[in-house]
A = this chain, B = another copy of it.
Amino acid sequence: MTKIVDHDQRRLLIAEATLRIIRQMGMKGATVRNIAQESGLSLGALRHYFSTQDELLNFSMRLVKERATVRINELVSIDMPLFQKVLRILLELLPTDDNKLAEMEVWFAFTAHYRSSGTTYDAQHDGVQDLVERLLHSLKESGLLRPELDYTLETERLYAFIDGIALHALLDTKRVDYERIVNVVTYHMKSICTEESFLLER
């Protein structure tokens, strides 16, 4: 048993080293050699834990996604008014601090890497579309969504808007700062929710 735990922990440490490397050097730095060095392992030892580079990269991307999921589930479990909760969860998806900016950097690097390598790419891999759908659904079920709206198009619009803001926050970090992100996301959510949703909650 001990050995299995060690094996998993070592894989986690290697994935974390991979994320640090991508953050610092971009995808082009994510060579087996660099990752081995950052992990303090020999090339042979690294290959013991991950037999191919693709396997290692996929594992690291999964780590990014899992971390985001943990943060979001924590928010889901907190007792607070629904409009505020949805807003907080959407902001959790966006690069509002250095840590999340680094994760977004990894997402971007991975996505570009997989596109250019011709590997089959799963556009839903990051789970954002699914999450946006569930958030709008809960607002609708609670009667907070303005009734005159087209629910399907609102889902598409919110999903595009969130990923667009994320992209801009990544590419233009100085201009699209924390305050701007909060303002525009709040503005959008207020525009699609009834006034009662956010007025009563204050």
Complex Cα distance A106/B124, Å? Answer: 22
9-residue interface stretch from A50-58, A110-118, A136-144: A110-118
The answer to whether B171 and A164 touch across the interface, beta carbons within 8 angstroms, is no
The answer to whether B184 and A153 touch across the interface, beta carbons within 8 angstroms, is yes
Q: Closest residue to A173 on the B side, CB-wise?
A: B123
Say yes or no for A188: interface residue by CB 8 A criterion: yes
Say yes or no for A77: interface residue by CB 8 A criterion: no
The listed residue (B112, B159, B162) touching A108 by CB distance below 8 A is B112
Say yes or no for A109: interface residue by CB 8 A criterion: yes
Complex Cα distance A94/B151, Å? Answer: 23
Given contacts A159-B164, A161-B161, are A116 and B25 in contact (CB under 8 A)?
Answer: yes
Q: What is the minimal beta-carbon distance from A193 to any residue of chain B, in angstroms?
A: 14
The answer to whether B150 and A187 touch across the interface, beta carbons within 8 angstroms, is yes
Beta-carbon contacts of A17-33 to B below 8 Å, as 1s and 0s? 00000000111110000
Can you list 8 A-B pairs, Cβ within 8 angstroms, ordered by A? A26-B118, A29-B116, A109-B112, A109-B116, A115-B171, A123-B171, A163-B164, A164-B167
